[in-house]
Amino acid sequence: MAKEIHSTAIVSPTAQVEEDTIIGPFCIIGDNVHIRKGTRLISNIVVEGNTEIGEDCTVYPFTSIGLPPQDLKYKGEKTGLKIGKQNTIREYVTIHRASVSGDGLTTIGDNNFLMAYVHVAHDCKIGNSVIMANVATLAGHVSVGDYAVIGGLVAIHQFTRVGAYAMVGGFSGVGQDIPPYMIASGARVKLFGLNTVGLKRHGFSDSTINELKKAYKILFREKRTLKDAIKKIQEDLPYTDEIKHLIEFIQKNKRGICR
């Protein structure tokens, strides 16, 4: 199928719009934008900057993608935004290109679902199959691991990480890293155990879940420093891929770990 561009859409001559793409009414596509095949921009969408949107994405009305970062340090430098394939981006979402204090690129992986009014700030790194509910907000330099779920009205502080398969309950304020596989909630977010339901839905075995529960207890329920807790886990538990990932995530923290 040939690309379909509505007569009211404005598309820069330097933009790359691949075949099978639909650009709906009143969309504005700026210079150097690259929209890959099968993607549909429904209507009233602005895409600008050094931005790439992958294959088979659907973007809903009144969304802004690739606009300059909300960062006072930014003075118009060439930075970018890369969005993967098969993402659903709902109404009024804002996704900004990077600023000058990171690697120059805001990235979103594949198969993500960003609900209405989500904000993804400059230099964020979102993995694959992430769900962000309405009005979830990421400040600059936030990273979100694969299959994480972020509830509605959640605000996540700059440079904070949310681990893979973690779940953050709605109306939470996140100022420290949420380890992978965990569930967290609260105005000043706290851990509430393992994301057991989520792990079962994604096919984790009972034995793996039980080992992660033991690791959680050692890390966060026993009166140990993180260093001592990690040492005990390494000595007492099977060093599975999941345990290894959990420990490496904790060891790389810079803002502290939510307890």
Q: Which one from 49, 109, 119, 123 is the annotated catalytic residue?
A: 123
DSSP class per residue in 101-144: SSSSEEEE-SS-EE-TT-EE-TT-EE-SS-EE-TT-EE-TT-EE
d(CA 88, CA 41): 11
DSSP 247: H
Take residue 48 and report the two structure tokens written for it: 């600008």
Q: Which one from 109, 140, 145, 198 is the annotated catalytic residue?
A: 140
Catalytic: 34?
no
Q: Which one from 96, 119, 122, 141 is the annotated catalytic residue?
A: 122
Catalytic: 38?
no
31, 15 contact by CB (below 8 A): yes
| CA-closest candidate to residue 85, choices 63, 52, 60 | 52
d(CA 55, CA 8): 23
Catalytic: 198?
no
Active site members: 122-123, 140
